[in-house]
Structure 1
Amino acid sequence: HNVEDVDLYRPGGHHPVNLGDVVGHKFKILHKLGNGGFALVWLARDLDQHRYVALKILRADAEDHETKVLKHLKNAAGNVRITNLHETFTIHGPNGAHQCLVLDLGGPSLKHLSMYSKRPPLPFRKAASRKLAEGVAALHSAGVCHGDLTHSNVLFEIPGLHDWTEDDIHRYLGPPKTAPLLLLDGAPAPAFAPTHVVDALDYSQLSTEQLSSNVLIADFSAAFSHDNAPKGLGTAASFAGPELRFGYPPSPAVDLWALGCLIFEIHTFRVLVPTAFGSSEEALAVATETVGALPEEWRDSYDSPLEANAGEKHRWFDD
């Protein structure tokens, strides 16, 4: 089951939400979209605007870096292909004060599609690839690097979604799968936790025929400006730029490497750099087998977290 770590329902942690709750006076919770370490994302109905949105509720102790990035993009990047930020507000609950982001509701991620659907026709794949590349170009033109561009953060739009009834949501996306949240002794969960946990949507009932080739880039929690790069990134090894393991700082190049991986996956529904254990060493081995030897100038700067691996750096190069 795809549910959050329930130990994070504590002071400073997640806000308890149950299906049917109305958050922020107008957002009715209908389904779970995703779980993260620092936020939960819910499919909600805006009862005032009569539209569906993605409602991202941050942990009370989480830093809201994403809002600043999204506001900058709204002003600087025009009609960029991202999940636009509509509004923010704060709610107060038993675990603290939580920042809430109201975002465009996308659709299934590329990861979901490649797991549950057949490959769409070539024109669809070419259009989606072009639009994704245009989206990344617009980000970079606005001075922003995404920093975590993976198949989980590329979403495909569902045409006509906002005309669906709540019953249609459950018919096409599947009803929520829930389980009561109980203490070890079988007692109901306390007030700082929800009464039930909810499985995140997997979109397995949707077919590619129901989707548009319009893509949205989501989750800007790791984004950074060109002139203020972090020391490192937490990108999954299959999409992480290999230069990061050789002492190079994050730059727009990390998004371009990920873009190439994603275009390959859009066309094949296979991960270009698959890893069984998610390690950087494993990803480097697969990348060199797939793409070719790494640049010679990187030879002496391999950064291994394991001292025992430091002597193996030459395996990634042509000798």
Structure 2
Amino acid sequence: MDYLSTLDPPDGSALPATASSNDDDWGDIVDTDDEYDVVEDVCENITLYWRGVCYPICIGEVIEGRYRIVHKLGHGSFSTVWMAYDMIHNYDVALKVLMLRDEEDRDYQIQTRIIEPGIDRTHLLVYHRSFHLRGLCGYHRVLVFPLKGPNLREYPAKKPLVTRMSFAVQLLQALKSLHEAEIVHADLNTANIMYDLRTLKDLRIAEKYKRFGRPKKMCISVGNFKDGEVVRAAEPDVDLLGDTIVLGDFGLAGKPGIPAVGGQNPPFYCAPERVHGINPSYASDMWSYMCIFFELYTTEKLFNGWHHDRVISSTVDTLGALPLSWKGSRSDGRSCDDTWYDQDRHVSDESALQPRLARLRPDASLREIELVLCVLHRGLSYLPEDRQTATELLEDASFNEFMAICH
């Protein structure tokens, strides 16, 4: 695949996109207050379009003379993502349309580094083309991606164990590639891991809508600029989800030891040193990986709680007291619970790893549980320097014996 980076707004492609002029079926316009509320509740803030922050798009329109918009895939803090059909190469793609921001997009910068020669991108989701669209208040960068499925958070992996553990290996290979490129992901969680999709080749629009759901949309007008639509995201059938995954979303990524701009990864997956003033590292990625590994193996989260305090308490219940040297170094300014650092505190019988694994995987052999415990301890050491690297874990005897049992 050719990778084309367009750093400056190209003359031809930066014009406002043209609307569709054909009579194809492009979804359903909502026409009741209840339907309006449903669409608004799950979509980006409509005022972002009126302020020129978001670029307005309609289902069915053609962007840059080649990308026919088919559906909405989702939105995030800094972009909207659309399913489109590339009419030149005749395949489906995803268009990530960035919102206007004061600074250059960090995700784009990291991806530009990843697509340099010599980096294994097999399990990394990176753009293969970039262009600009002229919006109401400036130019919006658009990144063209291969079309991928939903993420593991939205569609938890209800696959057989052999497939889930294959995901664990693929994710570890993705981390190995990133770390060899001297990049820390810093936001490793299930929302950033996407399924591959089974082929949609030769499907007509109506057939795609049967598999992804019909677009539910509200029309909006952005002054004298152009019309757009706020669209509820597609919900693909589970039988479209493939048996391979990719890691994406590099918005917090950077070099090891450098503060992550924009925050921390979700509490469930956040390494405990990150809450104690220590910057992201390859080792903090490995802690996050182990949380996902446990989740893929058991289908339950390793640590419980919706905020850092509760997750830290759950961590201490599971693994024991935090290092005493961390006491008083809480990076968010919140007070610490002294019991977290009490070196006489014992692991909770209910939360300890071995009995939990036995409860959650009652059909597993004693040897299998023993191997899983070995793997988890490779990456759940409190001291970052004591954790294995991605490369080391891929070569680890216990890890490979466990994977052989699963397969």
Give the TM bin, normalised by the shorter chain: 0.7 to 0.9
Is 1:290–2:318 an aligned residue pair? yes
Q: Which aligned pairs between 1:78-227 and structure 2 lie closer than 5 A?
A: 78-114=120-156, 119-181=158-220, 190-191=223-224, 194-203=227-236, 205-207=237-239, 210-226=240-256
2:15 alignment counterpart: none
Alpha-carbon separation, structure 2, partners of 1:290 and 1:174: 42
2:292 alignment counterpart: 262
Alpha-carbon separation, structure 2, partners of 1:192 and 1:273: 48
Q: CA deviation at 1:317?
A: 4.0
Alpha-carbon separation, structure 1, partners of 2:202 and 2:250: 28
Question: What do you get for the CA RMSD once the two structures are aligned?
Answer: 2.3
Q: CA deviation at 1:243?
A: 0.7
Q: Is the 8 Å Cα contact of residues 27 and 44 (structure 1) preserved in structure 2?
A: yes
Alpha-carbon separation, structure 1, partners of 2:153 and 2:175: 18
Normalising to structure 1: TM-score of the pair? 0.86
Alpha-carbon separation, structure 2, partners of 1:10 and 1:291: 50
Q: Is the 8 Å Cα contact of residues 55 and 100 (structure 1) preserved in structure 2?
A: yes
Matched letter for residue 190 of structure 2: H
1:37-93 Cα offsets, whole Å, 9 max, x none, are 211111111111111111111112252222221122122413331113111001102
Q: CA deviation at 1:138?
A: 1.0
1:67 alignment counterpart: 108
Q: Which moved more, 1:82-91 or 1:60-69?
A: 60-69
Q: Which aligned pairs between 1:33-44 and structure 2 lie closer than 5 A?
A: 33-44=73-84
Alpha-carbon separation, structure 2, partners of 1:247 and 1:314: 19
Matched letter for residue 200 of structure 1: A
Are the structure 2 counterparts of residues 228 and 61 from structure 1 closer, same or farther at C-alpha, using a change threshold of 3 Å? same
Q: Is the 8 Å Cα contact of residues 80 and 139 (structure 1) preserved in structure 2?
A: no
Normalising to structure 2: TM-score of the pair? 0.68
Q: CA deviation at 1:127?
A: 0.9
1:160-199 Cα offsets, whole Å, 9 max, x none, are 2344333332111211122344xxxxxx664568543111
SS at 1:90 equivalent: strand
Q: CA deviation at 1:96?
A: 1.9
Alpha-carbon separation, structure 1, partners of 2:99 and 2:282: 29
Matched letter for residue 315 of structure 1: W
Identity %: 27
Q: Bigger relative contact order, structure 1 or 2, given CA contacts below 8 A and separation 6+?
A: 1
Q: Which runs of 5+ in 2 are unaligned?
A: 1-40, 345-407
Q: CA deviation at 1:24?
A: 2.1
Q: Is the 8 Å Cα contact of residues 147 and 233 (structure 1) preserved in structure 2?
A: no
Is 1:4–2:44 an aligned residue pair? yes
Q: CA deviation at 1:11?
A: 4.0
SS at 2:93 equivalent: strand
Q: CA deviation at 1:229?
A: 4.3
1:281 alignment counterpart: 309
Aligned residues: 302
1:318 alignment counterpart: 343
Matched letter for residue 192 of structure 2: N
Q: Which runs of 5+ in 1 are unaligned?
A: 182-187
Q: CA deviation at 1:25?
A: 2.0
Q: Is the 8 Å Cα contact of residues 321 and 340 (structure 2) preserved in structure 1?
A: no
